[in-house]
Structure 1
Amino acid sequence: MAHNAYIALDFETANNKRTSICSIGMVKIIDHQLTESFYTLINPNDFFAARNIDVHGIHPSDVANAPTFKEVFPYMLDFIEYLPIVAHNAAFDMSVLHASIKAAHMETPDLTYFCSCQLARRTVSSQRYGLKHMMDYYNLDFHGHHDALNDAKACAMITYRLLQHYPNLQNILDIYGKQLRDKDAL
């Protein structure tokens, strides 16, 4: 495993249920370089709330022929390769992942994750710490908020900037890293 490698991840959901993933975006960062990206629409086999459609712009017709989470999950794991995961609201994204794994009757792998939003709160002084606000804080271009791949890229850029305040990624994981496991409740 590379010394400084992680996966930035973002989910969009069809409604307020944690099991209603309708898109996923991930980027792989190795030694400060975005080396690969992963994006797919997912058919949640569930209803789409108008509020969620207003946020991400994904409609039921967009996912009608998309794979289900159960079909996509093995490809996600191949992409992740047991690298640590970062999400800008990890409590949300990791609970969505865990609930969706459970709903698909699959085993939850041991995954290490941390939250770039919480890391930002502990590292820099800003008025607000949401994804868009942190992109503005760092003067980074940000187009397409609530597109899972764009949000994953934004999370990766924010994480890159935050890591500059620490000796290395392992230091972050030792302090802020959490584990997603079957036996753990989120």
Structure 2
Amino acid sequence: MNFIAMDFETANAKRYSAVSIAVVVVRDDQVVDEFYSLLKPPTDFSQQNINIHGIHPQDVEDAPQFPLVWQKIQQFYTGEQLVVAHNAAFDNSVLKATLEYYHLPTPHYLSLDTVKTSRRLYPQLTNHKLNTVAEALEIPLHHHHHALDDTLAAAQILLKQSQEFGVDPLKSLVKVI
């Protein structure tokens, strides 16, 4: 399989408040590249979000704003590219809202949500949160809610699902963004 996986963490409930992003590139079923960056958001932080991901305002004081980081990764978001995320609706909405906030063009790409694939393929799990699915599939998840660790776990989840069940049951869940 060839795809990229992505994950965002946000400063607060506003979707354009991204404070970190990770992208993992998978080629021929292997992770071949990783990208992670903290981001300086255009908004304040909420304590609730800090409690989730542990990123504080002082951690991003010298971080780049999203447009600078986007220049490095936008090449991966094309009409033919499969972009995977665990709870993709959230990550896709953060990407779209952040691009809109900065008046950047919104790309079109293929999206696959490993929450949805996990619900379909592992209905017996008590829930389909990233840490639950990763544990059930014996995938390491060192720091849950760290964008790079979450991205690597989502990529490994899809690879395991593809190996165990094949690609066909997953195709119907691909969505055009």
- TM-score normalised to the size of structure 1? 0.88
Amino acid at match of 2:65: T
Of 54, 57, 60 in structure 1, the residue corresponding to residue 54 of structure 2 is 57
Partner residue in 2 for 1:85? 83
Secondary structure (helix, strand or coil) at the match of 1:16 reads coil
Q: CA contact under 8 A between 2:77 and 2:109: conserved in structure 1? A: no
Q: CA contact under 8 A between 1:26 and 1:149: conserved in structure 2? A: yes
Of 65, 68, 86 in structure 1, the residue corresponding to residue 65 of structure 2 is 68
Identity of aligned residues (%): 37
State how many pairs are aligned.
175
The answer as to 2:43 corresponding to 1:20 is: no
- 1:32-80: CA deviations, max 9, x gaps? 1110000000101210111111111111111111111122112121345
Amino acid at match of 2:85: A
Q: CA contact under 8 A between 1:123 and 1:165: conserved in structure 2? A: no
Amino acid at match of 1:158: I
Secondary structure (helix, strand or coil) at the match of 1:176 reads coil
Partner residue in 1 for 2:129? 130
Secondary structure (helix, strand or coil) at the match of 2:9 reads strand
* RMSD of aligned alpha carbons: 1.5
Q: Tell me by how many angstroms 1:166 deviates.
A: 4.1
State the alpha-carbon separation in 2 of the partners of residues 78 and 15 from structure 1: 27
State the alpha-carbon separation in 2 of the partners of residues 97 and 60 from structure 1: 20
User: What aligned pairs does 1:1-186 form with structure 2 within 5 A after superposition?
Assistant: 4-80=1-77, 83-125=81-123, 126-168=125-167, 172-173=170-171, 175-180=172-177
Q: CA contact under 8 A between 1:88 and 1:115: conserved in structure 2? A: yes
- 1:105-130: CA deviations, max 9, x gaps? 11111111110000110112311110
